[in-house]
Amino acid sequence: MTRFSLAALLAALALAAPSLAFAHEGIVHDGCPTGQSFTAGDITVSGAYARATPPNARSAGAYLSIANAGPEADTLTGASTEAATDTSLHQMKMNGQVMEMSALPDGLPIPAGGSVALDPMGYHLMLTGFSQPFVKGQCLEMTLHFAKAGDLKVELNIGGFAQSSPPSASDAPAEPSHAMDMSSMAM
């Protein structure tokens, strides 16, 4: 066997091996447990979720709470996921009567002994460049990057289109049905 074909064989075997948790850091179609928390150093992340997206959406938001139990401030410097080509930190805020969104290129400080919430009307992670829509009930794997705590792998539950808080077990999608339930839709 030549060197090239041995390398190709080893690469093929590696791709065929069963994947481990977080091996692909993208969308997990089977979903993930609700109510999880994730810890690295003094940082704990909880309530991680994203909203479902329509089929042709170009962006999505991700939300979570970050607690810092340490004696020193830390900074969320960014995030990454294979489910999107770009993940960046943003802030929504009112400027007079206009809601504005701006990037946080220097990251998001997490105070010592404090916490910061990322939510739909404030700080959030903006995901762009995804190849498939996010579907309620799926799970999004992501790595958060902190200046002191380092990288923290988290799982975000995908909630409904207008989800305003982390999904709970009762929010899980029902078994697939061919009939459309119109009872909860306003006319």
Q: Where are the domains of the chain?
A: 37-159
| Choice among 26-40, 89-103, 167-181 with the minimum mean pLDDT | 167-181
User: Over the range 35-65, which residues count as b (16 or more CB within 10 Å of their CB) and which as e?
Assistant: ebeeebebbbbbbbbbbbbeeeeeebbbbbb
pLDDT value of residue 28: 77
Q: Is the pLDDT of residue 147 over 50?
A: yes
Give me the chain's average pLDDT, please: 83
Distance, C-alpha 60 to centroid of its chain: 9
Residue 36: the pLDDT is 96
Phi, psi of 171 (to 5 degrees): -85, -5
Distances (CA, A) of 124 to 19, 68, 119, 184: 30, 18, 6, 28
Given a cut of 70, whether residue 65 has pLDDT beyond it is yes
Q: What is the mean pLDDT of residues 38-66?
A: 96
Please count the helices (runs of H) and the strands (runs of E) in the chain. Answer: 1, 12
Q: Please state which CATH class domain 37-159 belongs to.
A: mainly beta
Residue 135's Cβ-count burial label (10 Å; 0-12, 13-18, 19+) is middle
